[in-house]
Amino acid sequence: MDTIDVIILGIIQGFTEFLPVSSSGHLELAKAILGDNSMAEESLLFTVILHFATALSTIVIFRKDIVEIITSLLKFSWNEQTQFISKIAISMLPAAVVGLFFEEELEALFNGNIVFVGAMLIITALLLWLADRSKNTGKAVGYKDALVIGIAQAIAMLPGISRSGATISTSVLLGNDKSKAARFSFLMVIPLIFGKIAKDVLSGELTAQASNFTSLGIGFIAAFISGLLACTWMIKLVKKNKLSYFSIYCAVVGLIAIGFGLYR
């Protein structure tokens, strides 16, 4: 890919990782428009690297929360922070199972299947529309909630299903507070992405032969900077009940994607 293409994809990833419009879906659409002919494995690798950049931007935004969590763990005290991290661990299980046992099937979907991406974007639109009509509460995420939200995150590994949209919407539909749902959604993905990167390193997938590291580096920086902006913005939008706008956007883009995929 050209440098400009990589920057465009990085910016798209940074913004769409946090905005509930599906980062993976938009990356696949962008690659189809830009004419990226990468194999499925390379396409997925590039997507993982960009997700890694946005995970780091999440750490920057929630650095105080993360420091409190780490401090509680080091003290071996069972308090609100350690309970929170145990819920995060529960939420990781479904996605971990999918990643371990269905990786090849998942990779096959990251290969320019635009009609499928469009259909999943419409599902994302429906989730956002339902969540936006839920009342805000003061309820925190519970243990059962964490598992259900984790299942939503696993489903969101499909290109076109927004991870943040699916997890925040699921959490809100379970009756949880919207601000707390957003915080949980953004923090729960950090260990999952780091685990994926560690798995790829240990398996030898992230090697000099696997991809162009210059392109990956440029994309990483673009995704990190745009991710910082988008994460801050999304937190404000969730509080103000603005998910319906993204619902309309996902529905429109989904229909366009289906049309593009059928008639290109």
Q: Is the pLDDT of residue 81 over 90?
A: no
Identify the top-confidence range among 2-16, 139-153, 156-170. 139-153
Q: What is the pLDDT of residue 36?
A: 59
The average confidence (pLDDT) of the chain is: 82
Give the whole-angstrom CA distance, residue 127 versus residue 9: 25
DSSP secondary structure code for residue 133 in this structure: T
Give the whole-angstrom CA distance, residue 165 versus residue 62: 19
Q: Give the tokens for residue 172.
A: 């809100």
Q: Which long-range contacts (CB under 8 A, 24 or more apart) does 207-215 make?
A: 210/41, 210/42, 210/45, 211/42, 211/45, 211/46, 212/1, 215/1, 215/3, 215/6, 215/46
Contact by Cβ (8 Å): 27, 10 = no
Mean per-residue pLDDT for 152-169?
Answer: 89
Q: What is the pLDDT of residue 35?
A: 67
* Predicted TM-score (pTM) of this structure: 0.79
Dihedrals phi, psi of 142, to nearest 5 degrees: -95, 180
Higher pLDDT, 128 or 138: 128
Mean per-residue pLDDT for 138-156?
Answer: 91
Higher pLDDT, 223 or 47: 223
Mean per-residue pLDDT for 121-126?
Answer: 93
Q: What is the pLDDT of residue 39?
A: 41
Identify the top-confidence range among 31-35, 191-195, 205-209. 191-195
